[in-house]
């Protein structure tokens, strides 16, 4: 809990850098008339985050074992690799939530007509919520079955 303020500061500065980088390069994709370029940007950023989340998931599965349950070293401090992985995970989640949600709605607003948006945005949000419930439920089931 004592590390959360530092994690938030690190997250804000990193997210600011990611958003600045995005704002510097994105206009060339969205000002272009070719829709494939916008799709490339949207899918490219999603792919980068997907790969990073898979890598973090693999690192977490390799670094946390039953012997690590106390999660502290003998002097009471957290081990360095675990702390770094925690910061990286925190930053990834925060920047994903800040950047990709905005990019998704920007992309959707650019591709969908007003009439279609009025009738379908509720469904988009509902499917997103169902995905969140199913995803967290799958993790819960996975953990209860002893898969780590």
Give Cα 67 distance to the centre of its chain. Answer: 29
pTM beyond 0.85, yes or no: no
Domain ranges of the chain: 4-111, 114-148
Tens-digit pLDDT profile for residues 35-62? 677 778 788 888 999 999 999 888 877 7
The pair of three-digit structure tokens given for residue 53, joined into one six-digit string? 């989340």
> Which has the closest alpha carbon to 87: 4, 7, 5, 2?
7
């Amino acid at each position: 809990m004592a590390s959360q303020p530092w994690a938030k500061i690190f997250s804000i500065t990193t997210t600011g850098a990611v958003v600045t980088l995005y704002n510097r390069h994105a206009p060339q994709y969205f000002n272009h008339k070719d829709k494939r370029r916008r799709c490339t940007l949207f899918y490219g950023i999603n792919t980068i985050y997907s790969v990073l989340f898979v890598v973090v998931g693999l690192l977490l599965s390799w670094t946390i074992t039953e012997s690590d349950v106390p999660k502290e070293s003998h002097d009471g401090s957290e081990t360095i690799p675990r702390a770094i992985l925690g910061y990286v995970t925190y930053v990834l989640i925060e920047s994903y939530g800040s950047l990709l949600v905005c990019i998704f709605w920007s992309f959707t607003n650019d591709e969908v007509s007003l009439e279609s948006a009025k009738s379908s945005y509720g469904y988009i949000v509902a499917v997103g919520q169902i995905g969140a419930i199913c995803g967290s439920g799958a993790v819960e089931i996975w953990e209860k079955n002893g898969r780590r």
